[in-house]
Chains A and B, each alone.
Chain A
């Protein structure tokens, strides 16, 4: 019984570690964005079109077109794969309720755009250089 409990705890701990190891993305924002942190729910609302503000200030979501950081961000914070995610946005577009966020090729392009666009918020790989933007803590 004890061995079984130990094995369960080991697997549970390992799975937590695996989840944490997978979240190798950071959320970045233009320096005009006043907030320094964002809740997971608010982040999901921003990137699914349900909300356009953090802490009372308007924000504009920016996407990566594809890649590991993009897939990890969707998995960790949206709970959908890319096809389902973009299909959700197209529902808003075709019903007149939203505009598809801009998608950019690569972390460097996202950093460049976010740095120069007031209110912009995006995500990149944790190891990517990101001078000129602020990092938002996701709680």
Chain B
């Protein structure tokens, strides 16, 4: 049924003229995009899809409505349909905000707003905006991206010109993150029979600084955000045995912060980028009548990336990503190493295609046990993706 709705949404998008509608009188614009991805893995199933058999279970459709009634004020809303294996099959509100920009030095966004952390977080779910089909999963895990995407709250932002020292851009945010019980962060819990019927709502505050240096095209930056301790109700249902009585309890996620450090150089046909990130939240499960148990993670991840615009329509690129859960026992489940080579072809300003090959060593990210009774340590993953945007 949801695939029929996606098809209808795509048809509706196509029925809009190929250029975005601009309702001049009300200064309203409509934009959108839709993507279809195909995954094939030589062994192991990835991202909760049957990728070892070839899987088309990766769809996205986005509809964006915006208006600029006066030069300093923008309002907008964006809705999304997202399907990836068992991670999502839902319509969600991406963001809905009012944005008042006093001048280049200060602006304010309120509503459901994107979290401005890291190099790619604000655009990690915008497939048309980057060349790779999958961003480095150690830092931008598609399985758990809803935890990093947006907050109900606000952003303050601006850029300060430093004369000969370049430009310093800042973004600060605060609000409540609503994390679905289906999020990839809780995958291991779900596989052991624990569900979060109400998800988890957590306060987050953070900031990003980006320094565009006087060297043309060079930018360095850092972000951090903080979450205080938060609890939510859980229900545990045995996954095996005759006893199917559910037990109630709570999950507590201890306080943590998540820093990012990044650098980007973009000049002419080249783009070089690198980023480091770490996060160590602990999940504590307390079920009625049972001993408390903890799931401890201490993840460190980094990547180096390069892309080159071969022609006006063709871009090629590669990245190497490494991630470790320092708290995990030794073995492939402790790490994730991924060499990726990729190409993107823009047929025109509306239509594009991506082809990508991942050489993965380790199973720290993107491998569930429901579809993988035996997890092998290495995986070759091929991705084809088609997209249309206007």
Residues on A lying within 8 angstroms of B by beta carbon are 50-53, 58, 60, 65, 79, 81-84, 86-88, 90-91, 93-100, 102-103, 119
Q: B373 near A: Cβ within 8 Å?
A: no
User: Is there an interface contact between A51 and B104, defined as CB atoms closer than 8 Å?
Assistant: yes
Report the minimal beta-carbon distance from A119 to chain B, rounded to whole angstroms.
6
A99-B68, A100-B20 are contacts. A91–B103 as well, Cβ < 8 Å? Answer: no
Q: Which of A51, A58, A100 contacts B72 (CB 8 A)?
A: A58
Q: B168 near A: Cβ within 8 Å?
A: no
Q: B74 near A: Cβ within 8 Å?
A: yes
Return chain B residues, CB-CB under 8 Å to A58.
71-72, 103
A50-B159, A83-B349, A87-B128 are contacts. A94–B72 as well, Cβ < 8 Å? Answer: no
Q: Report how far A83 CA is from B72 CA in the complex, Å.
A: 27
Q: Which of B104, B114, B122, B129 contacts A52 (CB 8 A)?
A: B104
Could you jot down 19 A-B contacts, CB within 8 Å? A51-B159, A53-B103, A60-B71, A79-B268, A83-B346, A83-B348, A86-B349, A87-B128, A90-B126, A90-B389, A93-B64, A94-B33, A94-B62, A94-B129, A96-B76, A96-B95, A96-B99, A97-B114, A99-B68
Return chain B residues, CB-CB under 8 Å to A99.
29, 66, 68, 74, 76
> Chain B: interface secondary structure?
strand
Which residues 185-216 of B sit at the A interface, judged by CB distance below 8 A? none
Q: Report how far A91 CA is from B123 CA in the complex, Å.
A: 7
User: Is there an interface contact between B128 and A95, defined as CB atoms closer than 8 Å?
Assistant: no
Report the minimal beta-carbon distance from A9 to chain B, rounded to whole angstroms.
24
Q: Report how far A51 CA is from B157 CA in the complex, Å.
A: 12
Q: Which of A79, A81, A96 contacts B109 (CB 8 A)?
A: A96
Q: B237 near A: Cβ within 8 Å?
A: no
Residues on B lying within 8 angstroms of A by beta carbon are 19-20, 22, 29, 31, 33, 62, 64, 66, 68, 71-72, 74, 76, 78, 95, 97, 99, 101, 103-104, 109, 113-114, 122-123, 126, 128-129, 159, 268, 309, 312-313, 346, 348-349, 389
Return chain A residues, CB-CB under 8 Å to B74.
98-99
User: Is there an interface contact between B29 and A87, defined as CB atoms closer than 8 Å?
Assistant: no
User: Is there an interface contact between A90 and B346, defined as CB atoms closer than 8 Å?
Assistant: no
* Apart from A52-B71, A58-B72, A103-B19, 17 more pairs, CB < 8 Å: A50-B159, A52-B101, A53-B103, A83-B348, A84-B309, A86-B349, A93-B66, A94-B78, A94-B126, A95-B126, A95-B129, A96-B99, A96-B109, A96-B113, A97-B122, A99-B74, A100-B31
